[in-house]
Each structure stands twice: as structure tokens, then as C-alpha cells.
Amino acid sequence: MTDGAAHSKEPRRAVALRYERGAEGAPRVVAAGRGHVAETILEFARAHGVPVHADADMVELLGACDLGAEISPELYEVVARLLAFLYRANADAIEAEQAAGAVAQEPA
């Protein structure tokens, strides 16, 4: 999930991606919007623990994709940066939970 607004006068924009490794060839744009729609997308993401990355340029590029379509190969590098952010965010969250002793593990 990424959001951004280039200037404070512009309404907030948001784009959400979905990727299932092995099930899809590339990430898909599953939601995009500005203003109230963007706020709804962001509220949904936060309520479901989806990390949000703020990057207006990334939102502009991903927002140009058709809803439901896989991203084009030209955007792989942009999305790779987003995925790196998400992996770091997930690793940091797991590390914080482990430090607090609150990690549930699946039985082996």
C-alpha cells in the first residue's frame, strides 16, 4: 500500500497492490483513488495491519495502471522498492514482538 500527495492543496491519493507468490506473475493494482476514496483505502489498510508507504511518485506511477491489472515490467523496480520497505517493516514488527515475548508460532 502506498499513498502520497505532491502538494498540500492536492487531495491525498492511495494505491493498493496484491501479490500472491506462485499464484500470480506480478503484483496487481487492487485499489486506487484520491480524496475520500484514498482515505477509505488507507483506513482499511491500517485496520488490517497492512503497512503503508508514503511516496507520491510511486503513487503516480502505480495509479496509472488499470485496476485489477498486473503491473507492467517497467514498474518492477518501483514495486521492488516497495516490497523491500514492506519486508523491513514486517521484520521490524516481528523483532519487536519477539522482544516483547508476544509471537505466536505455528506448530512444527
> Domain 2-100 is in which class?
alpha beta
Q: Which residue has the higher pLDDT, 35 or 107?
A: 35
Domain ranges of the chain: 2-100
User: How do residues 2-14 score in pLDDT, each as one tens digit?
Assistant: 665 544 567 899 9
| pTM score | 0.70
What is residue 1's predicted lDDT score, i.e. its pLDDT?
62
What is residue 3's predicted lDDT score, i.e. its pLDDT?
63
pLDDT of 106 > 60? The answer is no
pLDDT of 38 > 90? The answer is yes
Q: What is the SS3 assignment for 49?
A: coil
C-alpha span between 27 and 77 (Å, rounded)? 12
Place of cell 475520500: 36
Report the candidate in 70, 66, 90, 84 with the shortest Cα–Cα distance to residue 19: 70
Q: Tally Cβ neighbours within 10 Å of residue 66.
A: 11
The 3-state DSSP composition of the chain as helix, strand, coil percent (nearest 5) reads 45, 20, 40
User: How do residues 81-92 score in pLDDT, each as one tens digit?
Assistant: 888 887 888 787
